A and B are shown apart, each in its own frame.
Chain A
Amino acid sequence: MQKMLLLGDEAIAQAAIDAGMSGIFAYPGTPSTEINEYVQASKQAKEQKVFATWAANEKTAMEAALGVSYVGKRSMTCMKHVGLNVAADAFINSAMTGANGGLVVVSADDPSMHSSQNEQDSRFYGKYAMIPTLEPSNQQEAYDMVFYGFELSEKLQTPVLLRITTRLAHSRAGIVRKPVRKPNEISLPSDPKQFILLPAIARGRYKGLLKNQDRFLEESETSGFNTYLDADDKSLGIIASGIAYNYLVENYPDKKVPYPVLKINQYPIPRNLIARLERECDKVLLLEEGAPLIEELLKGYLSKNLNITGRLDGTIPRDGELNPNIVARALGLADSQGREIPDVVMGRPPSLCVGCGHIDVYKALNEALLEYSAGRVFSDIGCYTLGALAPFNAINTCVDMGASITMAKGAADVGFVPAVAVIGDSTFTHSGMTGLLDAVNDNSNITVIISDNSTTGMTGGQKSAAFGKVEAICRGLGVDEEHMRTIKPLKKNHEENLKVIVEELKYEGLSVIIPRRECIQTLNKRMRQKAKIKELKTQKN
């Protein structure tokens, strides 16, 4: 079979389609977005009637996927690492209910924070929930692991976490596919109480989960995804997890590492294999893409085991993603380096697109705030976060999805007035609505700007759950109609828009301003498609 050239994300999507998945639910987030995008664009998925949608947030996505599992069909939910925080309640409890149909949760970590606010390591969530976790080292393994993950999930009746990182998600490689498997028919769990986490039942479920740990461990020892590669030189043994393995073998011609290597791609960590490496080698080097999870386990709290090296003792930097050079230095190999970057090269940070509506919002807001002291704008996660950079320098916070409204509320509730929240439409329906309800209930003296570009812009223009609903939602939550103002952020409307913002900043109570203008990127895309259709029509005539 001809190999398919796929991103890691796309390989996961293709595998899920081939493995008979019935539903996929996700919220866009770099570097996970392309999984659901691929399924949504796939003809094969359409033919197989795979339900593929963008959810309002990661929690609703996780729960919908659990619902699919409940009825016995295979499902997947995908998110970026911080999205798993949002889905955590459902995720941790899904370990208690267990799965019926195969359930694979994909969490895409972003070490070095290429497009994120932290570099948390999702493997901790797998350990915390006490469920099997898979961590592919390459795109082919990612494909194969989705098949295995669904099977494991159904065999051991547990959700399975698939942890990937940016480099795997956004790197393309040739993939060999497996034969397509038919989707499951609907069949409810054999135990009708499996999904009822009433304390009395939950206690029993928890004992079951604890008992299952031995089976999870046995799978880790024997599945074939964890491999012990023996070698003669026992002065060092290396544990390489996930894609760290690639950076290791990159440093040796023909992949021949002179030391024994334990390649870890499945958790819980394989006790026997690790014990063997520790027993047979003088010293152990840990190579982990992400946090020193295995290293801390092996080293112990008092760090008495001095023969373990890695991120904790500085052999490897404590933060940031790995690369072949970092690993070379840790192994004492010759490091390579090209010319230094000449001084003439300037930084080129990302910026708001020319013609973006957020620009007009920030210009008006900055001017309106001139008469007040600085530090009053609480913002959120999205393209508009770029308002933090020059020339706007317009925002003062960006923490997590929805935190703009609630942080502004907290600040205003104790007397910091005026306080402004700037949030996008998709982020508003993701996690801003509940905070706005809090503000309505307390009549908090804040000005909320829902900068509505009618899409999920930063991740490339996915459908926004808020589309066409923002005013109705605000009204429903109880926002005063008189202080709910929709404006059009255009240069020519600057004076008018400025007046609206000034008025609402002065108003003592809750106001919501909705600047609405379509994202310039999605608008251009739509116009190009329109032109193409027109051209095709004229060709036909």
Chain B
Amino acid sequence: MKRDIILAGVGGQGILSIAASIGLAAVDAGLFLKQAEVHGMSQRGGDVQSNLRVSDKEIASDLIPYGKADMILSVEPMESLRYLPWLSPDGWLITNSTAFPNIPNYPKEDDIMVEIKKQPNHIIIDADFLAKELGAPRSANMVMLGAATPFLGIDYKHLEIAIRQLFGKKGEKIVQINIDAMIAGEEFARNYVK
């Protein structure tokens, strides 16, 4: 078992919480993990990514080779395309549809969607909308995590344990909101690929 995942987004959107959830779940499942993050200057509203590698064998490189990623998981639609050089031809592109246009030359959203749909395996999910519907507008990143779970190769129970570990300090209410958000994302993804 091996999953190479590029997590993408804009600084401040919470991709590191997704990374931490998958990371803790992988460790709980007894898998090997490497997860390279971007800290520092780019966190100030710039494009950010994390290389997340999970495997049942020891992992060598912190970086995923070009063309070898099994999945791009992006919390922002334009950012999902920035990492296409890393995605394998049959890899999954899973992205939030809510744009974060903090630059003056942000492209037309329709043009972005056209490019996303060129990837044979893709899921477009309005994570911000789903999170709002759940009354948890700040949990869009957990909706995205949920959308990725059918392709992660890690049992759901490990992910729930990870979320409990990650958000436990903030109280049971926050834990449950995040678990609900994850389940909503997962249901959406399963229906999407049917």
Tell me if B102 and A115 are in contact (CB < 8 A): no
Q: Are B33 and A167 closer than 8 Å at their CB atoms?
A: no
B84 beta carbon closer than 8 Å to chain A:
yes
C-alpha spacing A41/B159, complex, angstroms: 26
Check B34 for interface membership: any CB of A closer than 8 A.
Answer: yes
Whether A346 contacts B107 by the Cβ 8 Å rule is yes
Identify which of A245, A335, A341 gathers the most chain B CB atoms within 10 Å of its CB.
A341
Q: What is the minimal beta-carbon distance from A389 to any residue of chain B, in angstroms?
A: 10
Q: Which of A401-427 contact B (CB under 8 A)?
A: none
A383 adjacent to chain B (CB < 8 Å): yes
Query: Could you give, for residues 36-72 of chain B, a 1 whenever the CB lies within 8 Å of some chain A CB and a 0 otherwise?
Result: 1111111111110001000000111111111111000
CA distance A340 to B86 in the complex (A): 9
CA distance A460 to B41 in the complex (A): 10
- Does any Cβ of B come within 8 Å of A44's Cβ? no
B11 within 8 A of A: yes
Name the B residues within 8 Å of A341 (CB-CB). 81-82, 84-85
Residue of A nearest to B106 (CB): A346
Q: Indicate if A40 sits at the interface (CB-CB under 8 A).
A: no
Pick the contact of B60: A3, A250, A352, A458 (CB < 8 A): A250
CB atoms of A171 and B34 under 8 A apart = yes
B24 at the interface (CB under 8 A from A): yes
Q: Assuming A386-B44, A458-B41, is B84 touching A342 (CB within 8 A)?
A: yes
Considering only CB atoms, which chain A residue lies closest to B62 in the complex?
Answer: A171
Q: Mark A445-462, 1 if CB is under 8 A from B, else 0.
A: 000000000000011100
Q: Which of B11, B27, B62 contacts A174 (CB 8 A)?
A: B27
Give Cα A386–Cα B41 distance, bound, in whole angstroms. Answer: 9
> Once the chains bind, are A350 and B41 in contact (CB under 8 Å)?
yes
Asked if B33 and A5 sit within 8 Å, CB to CB, the answer is yes
When chains A and B are docked, how far (Å) is the Cα of A96 from the Cα of B67?
50
Nearest-Cβ distance from residue A88 to partner chain B, whole angstroms:
23
Q: Does A174 lie within 8 Å of B33, measured CB to CB?
A: yes
Docked-complex contact A348 and B103, CB < 8 angstroms: yes
Does the CB pair A172–B34 fall under 8 Å? yes
Q: Are B46 and A351 in contact (CB under 8 A)?
A: yes
Query: Which residue from A245, A339, A458 sits with its C-beta under 8 Å from B84?
Result: A339
A115 adjacent to B34 (CB under 8 Å): no
Residues of A within 8 A of B39 (CB): 30-31, 33-34, 115, 170, 460
Pick from B38, B45, B60: contact of A351, CB below 8 A. Answer: B45
How far apart are the CA atoms of A337 and B58 in the complex, in Å?
23
- Chain A, residues 348-378, CB within 8 Å of chain B (1/0): the string is 1111110000000000000000000000000
- Report Cα–Cα, A335/B67, bound state, in Å: 9
Q: Does A200 contact B (CB under 8 A)?
A: no
Nearest-neighbour CB distance to chain B for A14, whole angstroms, equals 15
CB distance from A418 to the nearest CB of B (A): 29
Whether A174 contacts B32 in the complex (CB less than 8 A), given A5-B27, A250-B65, comes out as yes
Contact partners of B64 in chain A: CB under 8 A = 324
Q: Is the CB of B78 within 8 A of A5?
A: no
A262 and B79 CA atoms in complex are apart in Å by 39
Hey, what's the 0/1 contact readout for A319-349 against B, CB within 8 Å counting as 1? 0000111001000000111111110111111
Q: Using Cβ atoms and an 8 Å threshold, which residues of chain B touch A245?
A: 60
- List chain B residues, Cβ under 8 A from A502: none
Partner of A344, one of B46, B78, B119: B78
Which residues of chain A are near B61, meaning CB under 8 Å? 246-247, 250, 323-324
B42 touches A350 (CB 8 A): yes
* Docked-complex contact B46 and A349, CB < 8 angstroms: yes
Whether the pair B81, A345 counts as a contact (CB closer than 8 A) is yes
Q: Which of A335, A337, A352, A460 has the most CB of B within 10 A?
A: A337
Q: How far is the CA of A342 from the CA of B117 in the complex (A)?
A: 12
Known: A250-B61, A338-B86. A173 touches B41 (CB 8 A): no
B176 within 8 A of A: no
- Complex: A324 Cα to B67 Cα, angstroms: 11
Contacts of B37 in A (CB 8 A): 7, 170-172
Known A328-B65, A341-B82, A349-B46; judge A114-B11 contact (CB<8 A): no
Q: Which residues of A contact B38 (CB under 8 A)?
A: 114, 170
With A172-B35, A341-B82 in contact, do A30 and B40 touch (Cβ < 8 Å)?
yes
Residues in B with CB closer than 8 Å to A383 are: 44
Kindly name the residue among A30, A172, A337, A348 whose own CB sees the greatest number of chain B CB atoms within 10 A: A348
Tell me if B112 is interfacial: C-beta within 8 Å of chain A. yes
A2 to B29, CA, bound (A): 11
A249 CB within 8 Å of chain B: yes
Q: Measured between alpha carbons, how far is A346 from B119 in the docked complex, in Å?
A: 19
A203–B32 CA distance with the chains assembled, in angstroms: 51
Q: In the complex, which residues of chain A have a beta carbon less than 8 angstroms from the beta carbon of B32?
A: 173-174
- A344-B107 in contact given A246-B61, A325-B65, A336-B66 (Cβ < 8 Å): yes
Distance, CA A171 to CA B11, complexed state (A): 17
For B59, the chain A residues whose CB sits under 8 A away are: 173
- A-binding residues in B (CB < 8 A): 10-11, 19, 23-24, 27, 32-47, 51, 58-69, 78-79, 81-82, 84-89, 91, 102-103, 105-107, 111-112, 115, 119
Q: Please, could you name 10 A-B residue pairs with CB atoms under 8 Å apart, sorted by A?
A: A7-B37, A30-B41, A115-B40, A170-B37, A173-B35, A174-B33, A246-B60, A337-B66, A338-B84, A348-B47
Instruction: Give the 4 A-B CB pairs with smallest separation, nearest first.
Output: A115-B40, A30-B40, A350-B46, A336-B67
